Amino acid sequence: MFKKAASIRRSAANPILMPDPSLPWEAHAAFNPSVVKKDGIFYMLYRAMSAPQKKDGKDVGISSIGIATGKDGVHFEGHRLLFGPTEPWERFGCEDPRITEFEGKFFIFYTAVSEFSAEGIKVAVAITKDLKTIDEKHLVTPFNAKAMALFPERVNGKIAALLTVHTDLPPAKICLALFDRVENLWSESYWRKWHDHLEDHVIGIEYNEKDHVEVGTAPVKTKNGWLFFYSYIYNYFSPPAIFGIQATLLDLTDPQKIVGEVKRPFLVPEEEYELYGRVPNIVFPSGALVQGDKIHLYYGATDTTCCLAIIKLKELLEHLIFTAKRQLARSEKNPILLPVAGHAWEASAVFNPAAIYEEKKVHLLYRAVSADNTSTIGYASLIDGETIAERLPDPVYVPREDFEQKKVAGGNSGCEDPRLTQIGDTIYMCYTAFDGKDPPRVAFTSITQNDFVNHRWNWAKPVLISLPGTDDKDAALFPRKIGGKYIFLHRLGSEIWIDSVKTLDFDGASKFLKGTVLMRPRETTWDSKRIGIACPPIETKYGWLLLYHGISRRTNHYSVRAALLDLKNPSRILYRTQDPLLEPKTDYEKEGVVPNVVFPCGAAVINGRLYVYYGGADKVVGTASIDLKFLLSGLVHESKFHSG
């Protein structure tokens, strides 16, 4: 399941506020708190729910807005009804307040329910100067919306707010609204015009069509940007749903621009008070307040109680910024290799390239597929990491052994997905051998470095090194011995395995890779179905950098992540990224022979920059890069964020 970051801890006082059954208006629940601090006093506003009562012939719990006070932001007392339904447009309840002090007044945005349908669920606002008496109330949106929150100050002279539009008419969209005057906040004409151009106001938080998002907290100003937490509900439309709390950092002057984000939850239901209650398995963010070097995140649990999580602010901000900047940058020349119609052997597809850097050039060996679905291996070289310098007209490696000859007419067969490793003056190649009938297996061959760079393709006789009758792919050799042994990675089933051998004298009959599991899929959105290595490991002072691909069970999309392995004991994982470095976004990655695939098999370090070479949608070759030092330092920091 999802792992909570170590820099986040739940308050030992949780739940910090519970419903008082002696108060009829909150007898059943007190949850989704929003907190503001004024003159040393903390004021918690929260959604209070009554016991079921008759309303238009229905038994319903009516929601009102309660308030409690405290001196430390953790302990609250003095439950008091601040306001409840008084207008026709909120006759079934006032829900989920979000309070912001703005220009001398407190603006409390909440969900107003006039009927239990999308048309009857809208945003409203209550305004008070003293948190005792409500001075005015207004219906805000003339359309279905929830979870509106005001920025605490103007942005470029404009009043700014976040809100979630069409929460009950999915897909929901988190949007930005800007206003010249306070009165525009509840101007129907403003909102009609704004809604006519809805897509222009959307903040680009990506989410799966099976999921749901909703604004959580009012934005908090930090030196790095506007920080806000939101609810990401996994499997919302295909239960069981998983409620998670995520965060995004918005640009200080252009808050529609995301400058930091993490595409995974910081918090999911784990504690008893989050698992069991009026509505089980819910954590829902609703308030945030900076306290010294930490941020207090207030959230509702099981739609029953109010809770608190405490986060180290500096580490959170660094984590958000690093994750956003860690994305591999695609070359503007992509795709760098396309199929060639005039070459029968590579007329259908070229993809999944191995790479090795020799004599100031990147040498690519790429998988090529013919019209009859036979895979061979082609050659191209690049200067500057992304510009094609040479591409040979004929394959440099073809099926030679019975285990890679076509056994089913028209079916897939041949030599697939090569990976190259140089040790001394020998270049070793692992690839997938497939005859179309038996399970694919790992084949192993080699060539001298001198023959390779001079295009003398004198490959050693290939030999199978994985177990007979077993689907085994995605294999590579480490670039040096460790502890006097050669180390291999390979994929058995859905997992990455690691094995060590004393010699490389495989005979194809009695000596095969086995080993132990190094890494398993995780039950998250992104690599829950199957994982396999991308490129051979790269040695760094921090550890072995291993890029790997993961496939989501929910979407079947491929993405690329990274792990750090211990230099002396690579079976020990130092850290494994939660968010992708590369995922399908461009047309050539989303549309092809197999859609939504990015699949690297090679990488090269050139002048401190890591170039990754990958197949896009099993059709073309692309490259993407990142500063290696930045990637590694960020991974080390991120490992501390998640491990304590």
Segment 364-387 mean pLDDT: 97
Mean pLDDT of 382-406: 97
pLDDT tier at 643 (50, 70, 90 boundaries)?
very low
Query: Closest Cα partner for 416 from 141, 615, 227?
Result: 615
Q: In the chain, where does the domain assigned CATH 2.115.10.20 lie?
A: 8-325, 329-643
192, two tokens: 């009609």
Homologous superfamily in CATH for domain 329-643: Glycosyl hydrolase domain; family 43 (2.115.10.20)
Distance CA 336, CA 339 (A): 10
Give exposure, 152-182, as e/b (b: 16+ Cβ within 10 Å): beebeeebbbbbbbbbeeeebbbbbbbbeee
Q: Where are the beta strands (DSSP E) in 129-282?
A: 136-139, 145-150, 159-165, 173-179, 212-215, 220-222, 225-234, 242-250, 258-261
pLDDT digits (tens, 9 = 90+) for 245-288: 999 999 999 999 999 988 778 899 999 999 999 999 999 999 99
The CATH homologous superfamily for domain 8-325 is Glycosyl hydrolase domain; family 43 (2.115.10.20)
Residues of the chain above pLDDT 90, percent: 86
Band (pLDDT 50/70/90 cuts) for residue 2 is very low
Question: What was the pLDDT predicted at 59?
Answer: 80
Of the candidates 142, 141, 133, 183, the one whose C-alpha atom is nearest the C-alpha of residue 162 is: 141
Average pLDDT in the 48-76 region? 91
State the alpha helices, DSSP H only, in 199-240.
Answer: none
Position 126 pLDDT exceeds 70: yes
Task: Tally the residues of the chain.
Answer: 644
The model carries a pTM of 0.83
> What does the alpha-carbon distance between residue 571 and residue 141 come to, in Å, rounded to a whole number?
56
> pLDDT tens digits, residue range 594-603?
999 999 999 9
Tokens of 459: 């490959």
Question: Cis before residue 479, ω within 30 degrees of 0?
Answer: no
Q: State the chain's mean pLDDT as an integer.
A: 94
Torsion region of 626: left, alpha or beta (phi above 0 gives left; psi -120 to 50 gives alpha): beta
